Amino acid sequence: MRRFIGRYGLVRRRAMLTMVLGAVAVPGLALAEVKSLPRSHGKRTLTIVPYAGTEAPGTIIISNERRILQRVLPGGKAEQYEISVGRDGFGWTGVTRVGRKAEWPAWRPPAAMRQRDPSLPDYVPPGPYNPLGARAIYLYSNGRDTLYRIHGTNSAETVGGYETSGCFRLSNADVMELFEKVANGTKVIVF
């Protein structure tokens, strides 16, 4: 083990690297202000349920009222996940398509959201403090971004309620699994 003699005596190399990298990673931020990192991706809520509808396999169906997302499977079945949906005044319905997907996405709060809450930053980099979580599935209509997402969260305890500004929030564990199964162009029905 290498040791260095510094201003305050002997310092282990690992401790020195931790101090230096911490200062570089979050310049100007006191250690007391840094939130703890999430150590879990949240619970998995996937269940296989009967599906009696007529939508093609792969279609995503979201129920605002039941706070569930279903992905249609062949043979009269669907995968079902627990989700959070838009709080009062922010729910919506319609048919969209998956326009793009991102792993550990960055987030730029829309102007209307920043107007409602001026404390929001212009940009949140990817990582454990980003409200989009581990994955984001971007919903498009007529080739244009709707600004709505199916995404994860680093606060898994918020899944299952009326919490969002119109997006659909899953635990990171669930969204990482769903992300791998969904292709660009997938039909998404919200009711």
User: What amino acid positions are annotated as catalytic residues?
Assistant: 151, 167
- For 114, the enclosing helix (H) or strand (E) is helix 111-116
Exposed e or buried b per residue across 125-155, where buried means at least 16 C-beta atoms within 10 angstroms of its C-beta:
ebeeebbbbbbbbbbbeeeeebbbbbbbbbb
SS3 86: strand
CA dihedral 112, 188, 164, 88 (to 10 degrees): 90
